[in-house]
Structure 1
Amino acid sequence: MPIIEFSSGELDSQLQQQLSAGFDHHSQFQQAPSYEKQQLNWMLQDSQGKLIAALTSHLLWDWLYIDELWVDDACRGKGMGKKLMQHAEQYARKEKLAGLWLWTQSWQAPTFYQSLGFVEFSRFDNFPKGHYRIGLRKTLNLID
């Protein structure tokens, strides 16, 4: 009988390769679109080369997932986050993507993203307790 083992942390590379191969095989069997995730980043540095704002994202299928948007505390309120989001959206439009999406926490910036045209598609209450996690997306209506 198979034995269930528990571990914490990253899988060792051999187990991770076996797991990935299993997922790939199943996806091919189901005729799923190929899974090719690409990392895309926009960085803003000051004149001394210090990072003062950044947006990291993943392009997967036809959607751009905004992973992290950060602006240094000394630079907040100056439109840098908005500019980075505009660059990401311009990229998505140029590439004719279906849209952009992200997760944010209730204490972070849901109203900021909503002011950029993002709409809520999911809410996970009490994550963590007393707060919630919000899924937001912006569908791009591209005309071919």
Structure 2
Amino acid sequence: MDERPDHPGDHAPRHPRPRPSKHRTRKPLRHNASDDETPFSIRLTDDSGVLLGGITGWTWGGCGGITSLWLESEQRGQGLGSRLLIAAEDEIRRRGCDRAVVATMSFQAPGFYRRHGYQEVGRTPDMPDGTAKHHFYKRLSAVDPADSVNS
């Protein structure tokens, strides 16, 4: 399927998938687990299908990463962010990964990730307006998927 618009007036999709090149300029030295980068996206909708939030990320070489977690402001504080994060961790595990990483700004959600067992492994200081970027890591254990549903 071509991700480009058919006509000049059409709009491109919001999140086009990267398309692999048909031509390689050189052969890889060897095949390994780090050749498996794959994005994921999980949407949270209400009963009528209205988007309330979502989480995006990737898996690669046995590791999963959270790129973005977003909720409508009216939906915050109800545990929905936790549900999205748990769903993302379950997807990361399902893909055979045993660790996850995420970065967040100091004014966003460092406490949220700490509460979910992420350990801060680094900090980039001197970001705009005196903020910092916090880098987190979590070792994921194998869990029964039923445990995540009840959390």
What TM-score do the two structures reach when normalised by structure 1? 0.74
CA deviation profile, 1:59-87 (whole Å, cap 9, x unmatched): 11111100010010010001000001111
Unaligned stretches of 5+ residues in structure 1: 1-16
Native 8 Å contact 1:96 1:142 kept in 2: no
Q: How does 1:69-84 map to 2 (within 5 A)?
A: 69-84=69-84
1:105 counterpart residue number:
105
Q: Distance in 1 between matches of 2:24 and 2:126?
A: 35
Q: CA RMSD in A?
A: 2.6
> Cα offset for 1:47?
2.0
Return the structure number with greater helix share: 1
Tell me the equivalent position of 2:62: 62
Aligned-residue identity in percent: 26
User: Could you tell me which amino acid in structure 1 is paired with residue 74 of structure 2?
Assistant: A
Name structure 2 gaps, 5 residues minimum: 1-20, 144-151
The 1-side partners of 2:59 and 2:96 are apart by: 12
C-alpha separation in 2, matches of 1:58 and 1:95: 10
Q: Is it true that 1:140 corresponds to 2:140 in the alignment?
A: yes
Q: Supply the AA of the counterpart residue of 1:100.
A: A
More off after superposition, 101-110 vs 33-42: 33-42
Mapped partners of 1:39, 1:94: distance in 2: 13
**Alpha-carbon separation, structure 1, partners of 2:73 and 2:141:** 34
The secondary structure found in structure 1 opposite 2:113 is helix
1:127 Cα offset (Å): 1.7
Q: 1:128: which partner in 2? A: 128
* TM-score relative to the length of structure 2: 0.71
